[in-house]
Amino acid sequence: MRRSRFTVEQIIGFLKENAAGASVRSLCRKYGFSEVIFYRWKAKYGGMDASEARRLRELEEQNRQLKQIVGDLTLDNQALRELLSKNF
């Protein structure tokens, strides 16, 4: 997955600047991102603090690891069932 040029803390800062009264268009020009990206960030991080966003990132990483473990165990389970179903 492509990494963002901006950290979550910076993104939350942009959102707070917008809430303080800065227009979306001026923020986009000033920091170099598109309005579509801004609204995507607003949908994902709107109303969050930096600590909450950090916790979200940790939970997403933990979820990715758990999904990988489940996938590995499923493959092992299928291989064992296939092996046991063969007649010797």
Q: Give residues with Cβ within 8 angstroms of 12, minimum separation 6.
A: 45, 48, 49, 50, 53
Rounded mean pLDDT of 20-43?
A: 94
Instruction: Report residue 57's pLDDT band, with 50, 70 and 90 as the boundaries.
Output: confident
Instruction: Locate the domains of the chain by residue range.
Output: 8-85
- 2 pLDDT more than 90: no
pTM: 0.64
- In contact, 18 and 27? CB cutoff 8 Å: yes
Which has the closest alpha carbon to 64: 52, 74, 54, 56?
Answer: 56
